Structure 1
Amino acid sequence: MEHKEEDVRLGANKFSERQPIGTAAQSQDKDYQEPPPAALIDPEELGSWSFYRAGIAEFMATFLFLYITILTVMGVVKSDTKCSTVGIQGIAWAFGGMIFALVYCTAGISGGHINPAVTFGLFLARKLSLTRALFYMVMQCLGAICGAGVVKAFGKHLYQSKGGGANVVAPGYTKGSGLGAEIVGTFVLVYTVFSATDAKRSARDSHVPILAPLPIGFAVFLVHLATIPVTGTGINPARSLGAAIIYNDKAAWNDHWIFWVGPFVGAALAALYHQEYTYRIDAITLSGNIVD
């Protein structure tokens, strides 16, 4: 405990909180000071190049995310035997690994959301403005459509005959089960985002911003392992929309609402839980004496 106060001082982030992932604001003093919430509407952002650069980063990240992950899915489903492919575990690693890599690459530019549900959760927590949130969601969806489109261009017949990586509720499960899986899966992801990028934790542990992409990617991996057999795992409305538009089959559109409602509900619950429970408990701890 003799080095705890020094750790807090050295762990303080010197940059203002404009992006929620890996760049949350910190006071240079040993005690944490919560930055003000983002403005609901921030017209000044529209005149800033960094605003558009962040949107481009979200587009490119989601494009690469869909390209790698849907291509991996196609590689698995085209084979008659999964033993000759990477299997479900490989698909889960592709999704989790790409999130890890892309969050690491884009955290300092856009915050590395790559998911409208993450953006929505952080917006509810007032970590970014409505202007930026809507811009991010549009760019994420466009990137996802383009990423899935490139995969289809590699083999249209294969893509259409093997489901196009689109999310649907698997036979044997009800729509309610699929919705529940999406809500809980997205809760796990968004709560991990909040915890891994918590500014208060950054004040105590200077290594957290560097490690933030790892638990986020690992959460995506674990959720995919659990829910691929149920819904193919959405937990990302842009990912589901991109695959559904390019695949464009009735089966995908019948269940599509689940992959928007579920992730948004899960993200809202994660934001509420973190802000109203975890946040308040940590604030009380930091406002008092430093404890183990």
Structure 2
Amino acid sequence: MEGKEEDVHVGDNKFSEKQPIGTAAQVQDKDYKEPPLAPFYEPGELSSWSFYRAGIAEFIATFLFLYVTILTVMGFKGEENKCKTVGVQGIAWAFGGMIFALVYCTAGISGGHINPAVTFGLFLARKLSLTRAVFYIVMQCLGAICGAGVVKGFMGDNRYTLYDGGANTISHGYTKGDGLGAEIIGTFVLVYTVFSATDAKRSARDSHVPILAPLPIGFAVFLVHLATIPITGTGINPARSLGAAIIFNKKAAWDDHWIFWVGPFIGAALAAIYHQIVIRAIPFKSSRSIN
């Protein structure tokens, strides 16, 4: 598939712009071959247009994600707003539905990560380089800040502050440990689903898997939100938490903000380890091939 796009000049696409979620390799035949590990550091990517196009795609996707989801949260909290009727289920659908749509739209360009925790998990599994992982995370965070900023522009300072800016906080009655645990498990569910839904071996066996991959990922986000909105408002995405916290910029948003980075990164790391070592047994396959 690479190198067939007419809008990319020869030499500009040296580094694949399809850095798919998980082990994804849009496999063209049924013969499965383990995709090679991405280099730890690839400075040559910095001269490739596809690298920057992927970063822009992550920025726009995260911008749109924050715009729609935070506006939904604002509508739910606004008593005078008809969107009050959406309830927790409506918020969960907004988050899950947007992930489904945005992963579908951007998977062929950047892989559709839209989440630093997802990017971190895939980096640990050597599905993308450190260069690309850092660039993605920066662009995701910038997109999230801009998305939350536009919401504040629409809502105005008074209403935005009154409705807490959609920022993630630990709910009353729950401890920091509860919040951290919820974020770890919730992100594990998401990243494990990402790995499973886009596994190259499954893609080789079942050609429909790459097409359907955004659906289980979005559904996982929906289900995790149903479970953890009452505890943390559901982060499982450090960019989402950072964007809302920066624009809201109140003490309540920063008190436990570390939880919404540490929890998702731990959950993503555990999911990567579980999928690569237990489910796929990659290290054992490598050792057998050496022997």
On whether the aligned pair clears a TM of 0.5, the verdict is yes
Q: Residue 59 of structure 1 aligns with which residue? A: 59
Q: Verify the 8 A CA contact 1:39 1:128 in the aligned structure 2.
A: yes
Question: In structure 1, what is the Cα distance between the partners aligned to 2:162 and 2:130?
Answer: 39
CA displacement at 1:36 relative to structure 2: 1.4
Question: Per-residue CA shift, 1:169-194, capped at 9, x if unaligned?
Answer: 00000000000000000000000000
Gap runs ≥5 in structure 2:
1-15
Tell me the SS of whatever aligns to 1:164: helix
CA distance in structure 1 between the partners assigned to 2:233 and 2:128 by the alignment: 30
2:238 matched residue in structure 1:
237
- Alpha-carbon shift at residue 26 of structure 1 (Å): 6.7
- Matching of residue 104 in structure 1 with residue 113 in structure 2: no
Give the CA deviation at 1:19. Answer: 1.3
Kept in 1, the 8 Å contact 2:37–2:126? The answer is yes
Matching residue of 1:137: 137
1:43, CA displacement in angstroms? Answer: 1.2
Pair 1:188-2:220 in alignment: no
Deviation at 1:79, TM superposition (A): 1.3
1:208/1:160 CA distance change after superposition, 3 Å: same
Matched with 1:13 is: none
In the TM superposition, what is the alpha-carbon distance from 1:30 to its structure 2 partner? 4.2
User: What does residue 69 of structure 1 align with?
Assistant: 69
Map of 1:25-174 to 2, 5 A cutoff? 25=25, 30-79=30-79, 84-154=84-154, 155-174=156-175
Aligned with 1:85: secondary structure?
helix
1:221-232 alignment to 2 at 5 Å? 221-232=222-233
State the AA in 1 paired with 2:63: F
Contact 1:17 1:23 in 2 (8 A): no
Matching residue of 1:8: none
Secondary structure in 2 matching 1:195: helix
Give the 3-state SS of the residue equivalent to 1:32 in structure 2.
Answer: coil
Decide whether aligned partners of structure 1 residues 84 and 168 sit closer, same or farther in structure 2, where only a CA change above 3 A counts. Answer: closer
CA contact (8 A) 1:145 1:242 kept: yes
Moved more, 55-64 or 83-92: 83-92
What per-residue deviation string (whole Å, max 9, x for no partner) do you get for residues 44-74 of structure 1? 1101000000000000000000000000000
Q: Distance in 2 between matches of 1:81 and 1:98?
A: 21
Q: Provide the C-alpha distance between the structure 2 equivalents of 1:263 and 1:117, rounded to a whole number of angstroms.
A: 6
Report what 1:3 is aligned to: none
Deviations 1:216-243 (A, max 9, x none): 0000000000000000000000000000
Matched-pair contact (CA < 8 Å) for 2:121–2:271: yes
Q: Which residue of 1 aligns with 2:24?
A: 24
SS at 1:234 equivalent:
coil
Cα deviation for residue 158 of structure 1 reads 0.5
Structure 1 unaligned blocks of 5 or more: 1-15, 288-292
Q: For the Cα contact (< 8 Å) 1:58–1:114, is it kept in 2? A: yes
What displacement does 1:165 show?
Answer: 0.3
1:74-120: CA deviations, max 9, x gaps? 00001179995201000000000000000000000000000000000
Q: Does structure 2 retain, via aligned residues, the 8 Å contact 1:39–1:129?
A: yes
> Shift in Å at residue 31 of structure 1?
3.7
Partners of 1:74 and 1:30 lie apart in 2 by: 47
Distance 2:54 2:177 in 1: 36
TM norm structure 2: 0.88
Distance 1:25 1:162, change over 3 A: closer
Match of 2:271? 270
The one-letter amino acid paired with 2:212 is L
Which deviates more, 77-86 or 150-159?
A: 77-86
Instruction: Please tell me whether the aligned partners of residues 18 and 110 of structure 2 are also in contact (alpha carbons under 8 angstroms).
Output: no
Q: Give the TM-score normalised by the residue count of structure 1.
A: 0.88
* Partners of 1:32 and 1:200 within 8 A in 2: yes
Identity between Structure 1 and Structure 2 (%): 81
Q: Supply the AA of the counterpart residue of 2:35.
A: P
- Could you tell me how far 1:162 is from its partner in structure 2? 1.2
Contact 1:55 1:136 in 2 (8 A): yes
1:161 to partner: Cα distance: 1.2
Whole-Å separation in 2 of the counterparts to 1:262 and 1:84: 30
